[in-house]
Structures are given as C-alpha cells and as structure tokens.
Amino acid sequence: MTMIDAIRILLFPSLMAFAASSDLLTMTISNRISLALIAGFLLLAVASGMGIADIGMHAPAGAVVLVLTFMCYLRGWVGGGDAKLAAATALWFGFDHLYDYLLWASLLGGVLTLAIIRFRQLPLPQALSRHAWIARLHDHEEGVPYGIALAAAALGIYPYTEWMKVAGF
C-alpha cells in the first residue's frame, strides 16, 4: 500500500468522524474541518493523478450543495457548519455519488431529528444532566447536531466511490 492509498483510506473517514463527534459534543463544526476536507481533496486529487477536467466536475457539485445548504441555513433549518460540511463532502463525491449522499443524509437526518425530539420529551436523569453535552442535546432550545447524519451518510457512501476503488477496495 502506498502513502497515497493510506491517505485515501484514512483522511476522509477520519475528518467525517471528527465532524460528527464535534457536532455531538459541542453543537458546532469547525470551519477547519471543512477547510481540511477541501485541502485534502485537492492534494489527493493532484497526487493521485486526477485530471483537471475531473477536478472541475467535482467543484460544481460542492458549489451546488453550498448554495442549497446556505439557503437552508438562511431559513434556520441547518447550522452554518452543517452547510459547509455538506458542501465539502460533495466536493469529494462529485456528481457521481451526490444524489445518494444527499438522499442518505436526508433520511438519516430525519431519523436523528425524530430521535432527538423523543429524547427531549423524556426527563433527563440527574446523573446525565451533569454532562454539559448531554444537557445541551436535551435542551429544547438547541438545534439538532445534523453533522452526525451528514457524516454517517458520507461514511456509508465513501466505500463505493472512486477513491476507494483505485485503492483496491
């Protein structure tokens, strides 16, 4: 296995897992995660010999998702970190896997939202309320850590992308 293959296998999944855990624990997704995804895509695309035309087909996928998710952000449906994470993820998938990603992110996001609504209807045991992240997750005034659904969908789609096929998986 080459260094490029190791990066291809580890970088994207690691960043997605970090985004999900960050959103769960803090209800924020740092801009650094989205920027690392963008930089990682560009570096890996160049290092693996992806042509400029192919890179050019991934960029509009990210731009389309950024516009759509920014509109959702303006309506208060998603957070800004979620919008940027979805767009950076779309950059990796291009149009080839974009529909599947958005479909799974929507479905998983719906399930996550319903689960959190139900969780918030239950009384929070005092032992759990001492943990700030659980108390925040239980708070009716807080949003939903949608980055969890975005990351789960991305991790489910990633094994079927060209990134993994060229690594021999």
Per-residue pLDDT of the chain (169 residues; tens, 9 = 90+): 788 888 889 999 999 999 999 999 999 999 999 999 999 999 999 998 889 999 999 999 999 999 999 999 999 989 999 999 999 999 999 999 999 999 999 999 999 999 999 999 999 999 999 999 999 999 999 999 999 999 999 999 999 998 887 656 5
- Which pLDDT value is given to residue 164? 80
List the Cα angle 7/151/34 in 5-degree steps: 65
Report residue 163 CA to chain centroid gap. 17
Residues 6+ apart with CB under 8 A from 154: 12, 16, 89, 92, 93, 101, 105
- Which pLDDT value is given to residue 169? 59
- Which pLDDT value is given to residue 126? 92
> In 3D, which of 104, 101, 71, 73 has the Cα closest to residue 89?
101
Where are the domains positioned within the chain?
A: 9-165
- Region of 168 (left: φ > 0; alpha: ψ -120 to 50; beta: rest) is left
